[in-house]
Structure formats: structure tokens, C-alpha cells
Amino acid sequence: MKKRVTGIGGVFLKAKDPDATRDWYRNHLGIESGKYGGTFEWRHAEDPDKRGYTAWSMFDENTEYTNPSKKDAMVNYRVENLEELLMVLEEEGVEIVGEMEVYEYGKFGWIMDPNGYKIELWEPNDEEYEKIKGETNLSS
């Protein structure tokens, strides 16, 4: 099996007032956030010509996206082969949440950790993600 997690794909936080919280992060930490949140751009260590992305988003505290977790945060991890990894994790007894979803910008799957955090796993297609990041780009 290839390497499991290759990096952080995103950080997702829940808030009572997402707009005010996004404003706080913009005003005090300089994190710009658009329709889909913010996107930090970086380069792959083994191939500096290849771009990668880490998303940052603020969700309403009542979002169902992080269910069944009751936690206020979810981390998205970048992975190399999501289908294979989900099979291995299931064999290892890890709770799989829902069905894998496939989009132009990558494949997504979800698991639960032993502390009740829902974890999002993303096999990215960075070339396609670059097309949608638009106003969320945080690179300079």
C-alpha cells in the first residue's frame, strides 16, 4: 500500500456566527475567506513545480456536514489512494462514515477517530482544484 496520509488537506471549524468569525480571522490573522472558505497554496517538496492546496473553512455550528461527530472541528487529510485506504481501514476496524464521493477535484471519504472526531480523507486532483479555488486563494 502507498503512503496513507500525505498532508493536511483542510481545517474546518464550526461557529455560532460563521460570518463574524471569518471577519475576526481576516481582521486579526489575515485569512481571506470566500464562498468555499480560504485556500492556502504550497509546493510539493519532491516536485516544486507541482502545486498543492490546504482548505480552511468556517461552518455554522448546526451544520450536518460533520455528523455524526458532535465536535466543533474536522480535519481533512490528503491521501494517495482513497479506495484502497478505506478498504484497509475497514479491515482494521475503523468506522467508515457514509460512501466515498467523487468530484473533478478529488475523491472524499470519512472515518471516525476514537475520540469522536469525524475525519475527512481526500485524494486530491490539485489541477482541477486549482480551477475552483478562485476567490479563496490565500497565496501571495
List of domains in the chain = 12-77+87-136 (3.10.180)
pLDDT exceeds 90 at position 36: no
What pLDDT does 63 receive?
94
Asked whether the bond before 68 is cis by omega within 30 degrees of 0, the reply is: yes
pLDDT exceeds 70 at position 135: no
| Nearest partner of 16 among 62, 66, 77, judged by Cα | 62
Average pLDDT over residues 84-112: 95
Q: Beta partners for 97?
A: 110
C-alpha cell at 90: 475497514
In this structure, the number of other CB atoms found within 10 A of the CB of residue 65 comes to 14
Q: Which of 55-59, 111-115, 133-137 has the lowest mean pLDDT?
A: 133-137
Confidence (pTM) = 0.85
